[in-house]
A and B are shown apart, each in its own frame.
Chain A
Amino acid sequence: MAGILEWRAGNTFGYAAFFTYGAFWEWYFITVLLAHMGLITISLAGLSAVLAAFGVFTFIFWIYTFRLNWALWFVFLTLWLTFFLLAAGLTIAGGYMGIITAFFAWYTAFALVAQEVFNRPIPLLTSPPIKVKSETAKH
């Protein structure tokens, strides 16, 4: 839903990212549900393939966050690490990395709300990891 709203807001990055991770959770939900019902069988290799694919997507979107803000940069960095750890079968390490990811994602969400409610800049949200010297690019 936030994906659709971001589309409305004209935020391409948010639209693509939110929709993808929304779909990830729906995938998780339907896969676990159908597996419990005995309607589908899950293989470890299949799970790893899906997790690795989400890892690739997240890694590429992590590159975009270099131009967004530090908060999202940390979220996407820890998230692609989480996906690859889980894909590699390192479930416990992936779990801990996932907890760190959740921490940063929550921080990002709270910071966005705080920014609007308190109407002031929030740390990690207002500065991008890479600043482009906007005018020097033009010759």
Chain B
Amino acid sequence: MAEKLANPAPLGPSGFALTTLVLSLFNAHIITAGSDVVIGLAAFYGGLA
């Protein structure tokens, strides 16, 4: 019997979307200070996931 694997496709867009959203909020000046928080997301969700 073939091994059942999870579909890897949703994880990529999930991490990408969340990180993009947060960085874009800073780029759009909706949030104006403290964009350093994005680097953790970039390293471990947007990037690693």
Contact = CB atoms under 8 A, between A and B. Distances in A.
A14 B8 contact: yes
A113 B9 CA distance: 9
Given A2-B49, A29-B47, A95-B28, A112 B17 contact: no
A33 interface: yes
Given A22-B47, A95-B24, A101-B20, A28 B29 contact: no
| Main SS class of interface, A | helix
B9 A11 contact: yes
Given A2-B8, A95-B27, A102 B39 contact: no
Contact of A2 (B11, B29, B30): B11
A76 B5 CA distance: 27
A46 to B, nearest CB: 18
Interface residues of A, number: 45
20 contacts: A1-B48, A5-B8, A6-B8, A11-B8, A18-B8, A21-B16, A22-B46, A25-B41, A28-B39, A32-B38, A33-B39, A36-B36, A82-B20, A97-B24, A102-B20, A105-B17, A109-B10, A109-B12, A109-B13, A112-B9
